[in-house]
Amino acid sequence: MKFFADTADVKEIRELASAGLIDGVTTNPTLIMRSGRGFIESIAEICKIVDGPVSAEVTALAADEMIEQGRRLLQIAKNVAVKVPLTLDGLKACRALSQGGAMVNVTLCFSPAQALLAAKAGARFISPFVGRLDDVSQVGMDLIRSIRTIYDNYSAITTEILVASVRHPLHVVEAAEIGADVCTCPPDILRKLLQHPLTDIGLEAFLADWKKSGQKIV
């Protein structure tokens, strides 16, 4: 499973990329706003840091305007993935842009039926929001299971399942068990995946014993 960083914080992206932990980045207008930087400027810099897809979201609602904005975003870098909402106009834009060779990430997916339609429109990625479903007392990961089952029924579907709205490490583990293609995580969730108390205890004990030995490696 691929990992994308769900952030527009260039410092965080650079650190995670240097450790080889991420394969791409997802952004949205809210994340860009929090970064305090210009939209085009932020996307351009992120695209230089990571080789994989960098999702940049349109802000229009009408299909023709989404297509126009998407084409502008594609001029930023070759690894830009245009993110469009899961509406009829969004799917029209998805079809037009994907037929032109663009990567399109269809976002705000909350049902298997929506995911199936996005695949038919040519989406490279479908972004189901598991955390937001959990927030309204639905099991978000059940949606990932349903989409995986549907997509696996049809060899013609090449759309990748990009698990979004990830709230904790268990979401990530379950996504991997189900067979999701991508999981996009805030940097703090990626760091939590590294943490385990037994790792800390073991490392402390090893270092204490090494110190007692009086030896040096260099």
User: Tokens 């080789």 identify what position?
Assistant: 51
Tokens of 171: 């979401």
Catalytic choice (83, 92, 120, 211): 83
In terms of phi and psi (left: phi > 0; alpha: psi -120 to 50; beta: otherwise), the region of 132 is alpha
CB within 8 A of 118, min separation 6: which ones?
A: 86, 91, 94, 106, 109, 126, 159
211 is known as an active-site residue = no
- As a whole number of angstroms, the distance between CA 162 and CA 142 comes to 14
Residues noted as catalytic: 83
